[in-house]
Amino acid sequence: MTDRPASEDRKLKARHRAMWASGDFPRIAAETIGDVGPALVTAAGVQAGQRVLDVAAGSGAASIPAALTGASVVASDLTPELFEAGRAAATAAGVELEWVEADAEALPFAGASFDVVLSSFGAMFAPRHQVVADELLRVLRPGGTIAMTNWTPQGTLGQFFQMMAPYMPPPAPGSLPPSAWGAPEHVRELLGDRVTDLRLEERVQPVERFAEPSDLVSYYRENFGPTLVAYARTADDPERRAALEADFLAHAERTNLGEPGGHARWAFQYLLVVGRRA
């Protein structure tokens, strides 16, 4: 692990915050992976009366289902711009929860202060994986449950981020690919013997809302923060912009499971992680 000077770390986090604040991530979360948050809450066994922390919660895809169980929920994220949509969704669902701006690498909570720590496709994007794992477990009480969903390296979204990498800003020193969190051996190494009863299960989120691959490309180009960053970085270079367009469409076509000439469909593979703090 490489430590970054504080000034560089602040700049990096500011870039991450700006990236996820761009586009319309709450829409993408609701329209493409809306089933995953409730499934994560069920897998974690969240119950009424528990104190729950959702790390990198975004607009509350897991936080709100957790609150619906009667648990006391804190939704934390580096990008508080996402909280407005989350608060509106929570109000519509009839629940209240606490929204806290927080960095997954330096959570502003006391040790052993939560019964359950969740993260749905969130904490995996913080660059220093071991630091994140240490923080998730630090704030979790002994016997408490850690539960995550993470995109797998070999899955559709893992391949998507690999395809996008050449067009994105270079990773900071010490950073690891987000989808490494979707590799069971990596998760075991990060958590070590601090977690017992570790359950690692690959699951699939079907996506069938797009008629053809080009529709998926347009949707992510217009709404997804990382894609917006990639397109912005190629705006002044027609050849690189054309290469990005070609690579993105090729990825969408290659991973499309629909029949030729029929409605497009994708399978977004992810790793469910559930364990108990020793």
172 in Cβ contact with 3 (< 8 Å): no
Burial of 123 (0-12, 13-18, 19+ CB in 10 A): buried
CA distance 65 to 73: 10
226 in Cβ contact with 169 (< 8 Å): no
Reported as type and span, the H/E element at residue 4 is: none
- Over residues 214-226, mean pLDDT: 98
Q: Is the pLDDT confidence value at 216 over 90?
A: yes
- Over residues 13-25, mean pLDDT: 96
CA distance 56 to 148: 11
pTM of the model: 0.96
Which domains does the chain carry?
6-206+269-277 (3.40.50.150)
CA distance 51 to 67: 10
Q: What per-residue confidence (pLDDT) applies to 3?
A: 67
- Over residues 176-204, mean pLDDT: 98
Q: What per-residue confidence (pLDDT) applies to 129?
A: 98
- Calculate the alpha carbon distances from 5 to 32, 55, 61 in Å: 37, 24, 33
What does the mean pLDDT of the chain come to?
Answer: 96
Q: What per-residue confidence (pLDDT) applies to 173?
A: 86
Q: What per-residue confidence (pLDDT) applies to 1?
A: 44
What is the number of residues in the chain?
278
Q: Is the pLDDT confidence value at 174 over 90?
A: no
Q: What per-residue confidence (pLDDT) applies to 2?
A: 53
CB under 8 Å to 259, separation ≥6 — which residues?
A: none
Q: Is the pLDDT confidence value at 131 over 60?
A: yes
Q: What is the pLDDT of residues 243-269, one digit of tens each?
A: 999 999 999 999 999 998 899 999 999
Q: Give the DSSP letter string of 104-171.
A: TTB--S-TT-EEEEEEESSGGGSS-HHHHHHHHHHTEEEEEEEEEEEE-TTSHHHHHHHHHGGGSPPP
CA distance 64 to 24: 18
Q: What is the pLDDT of residues 63-93, one digit of tens each?
A: 999 999 999 999 999 999 999 999 999 999 9
% pLDDT > 90, the chain = 94
Q: What per-residue confidence (pLDDT) applies to 233?
A: 97
Q: Is the pLDDT confidence value at 54 over 50?
A: yes
Burial of 245 (0-12, 13-18, 19+ CB in 10 A): middle
Q: Which is nearest to 150 in space by CA: 115, 114, 186?
A: 186
CA distance 98 to 72: 8
- Over residues 111-129, mean pLDDT: 98
Q: Which pair of tokens denotes residue 45? A: 């066994």
Alpha helices by DSSP H, listed for the chain, are: 6-21, 25-32, 36-44, 63-68, 83-93, 129-138, 156-164, 184-191, 213-223, 225-233, 238-255
Q: Which pair of tokens denotes residue 36? A: 């995953």
Q: Which is nearest to 200 in space by CA: 134, 274, 117, 277?
A: 274
Q: Which pair of tokens denotes residue 149? A: 């969903």
